[in-house]
Chain A
């Protein structure tokens, strides 16, 4: 009989090894999945993980790594702070949409005026949009004790309807021949979030993601607030006795994650996406949850996890067009990753024992 024995202290080695183990396990089982779909598993795995970086057309795909990774990292960093403290904002998708609507709305309000101040105002509007949307579950939680998981998630569906409404009404391009969707911000210089260095995929959103990583790292390791977040997550009672205010923490964590998601949405709509459309949101807000866990809620880990997840997006698209692999298979592949991560994570806190004999547990 296998049984688990609690470790006195979480294993540091396994804390680093589990994400790698999870990725390897996902590759193996993903390969089996692709084989079941009638594709050569080795070719499929190589197409997803190797070709975007080193393949024949890698020069085209490499910039995409930052374009796709940027929003994922930015959102996941925000979420990770709350997750660490046991505050579950899972409505980042909605906050992302609101950030895009508010950011684009401010930009379009100035159209066709040109000015250096327009883009910064859009950034502020985007962050505020996400922040306000996240404050709804935040305030309801601190005022009435309402479950923030359910409220933040319900608000995703509300935001999606709002997005449909503004793309068909308020923000619709008056010169768009009646098609839904706003003006293209890529053609409006003052509002365009252009590449900072041509051909790299590096835009302001990616810069913001890197800044967020550094900010979160300093917050968690050097700042008292970061210490309070970690304390609340690991020992809620101790945190209360130490005088940590749960109200402030809930509002801070939800606020910062909302603002990050809002920023990501704003940078996306003014850059790679270009316009507000009904199907503008593509699930970054949900994938970012996987990124946050895969990165073990650690800023540097999230940076790496975000890039890896971006790789599966890009590789998935190549596999879709090249091998005819269904898009859903990639989505499942990403879900699988989180499963394996959670499953092997037990090895960090527990030792696997076989019967009564003392034996170090091998990886799953």
Chain B
């Protein structure tokens, strides 16, 4: 089945078995192997990508359902792989084996926007918003990305530091 979407700003049109998930389309058909398959069932978050700016588990979505969508993977987060967030992950050792890292980065990118838009979380004291990106808020919001090496301290430090230093984000959150 012919499917067209944009990935990291470039248009693609591919003929796919409807069974192909968005994750497998990215990895095996577009050779974008940054997104990882950890469980293939939405139970780990390693496959997290952004679709129209929102994070989803690419493993639990059929590629044909994304006709016309704009998809961003880890490869599209920056030109050189050294965005402030990516650099902060290296600096804070927010990875060990690195397998969950692309999903963590995509997820964190979406969390910035969710906070800026005033989305509440399970740990928010009230439902009124707006919300500051505290450690507790971040930990809850990033809990869909499992890291078995358990780099959560480094991951959180990297995300919090990036949030603090990114003025645009801070303004949006206020």
Is B a genuine binding partner of A? Answer: no
Residues of B within 8 A of A (CB): none
Residues of A within 8 A of B (CB): none
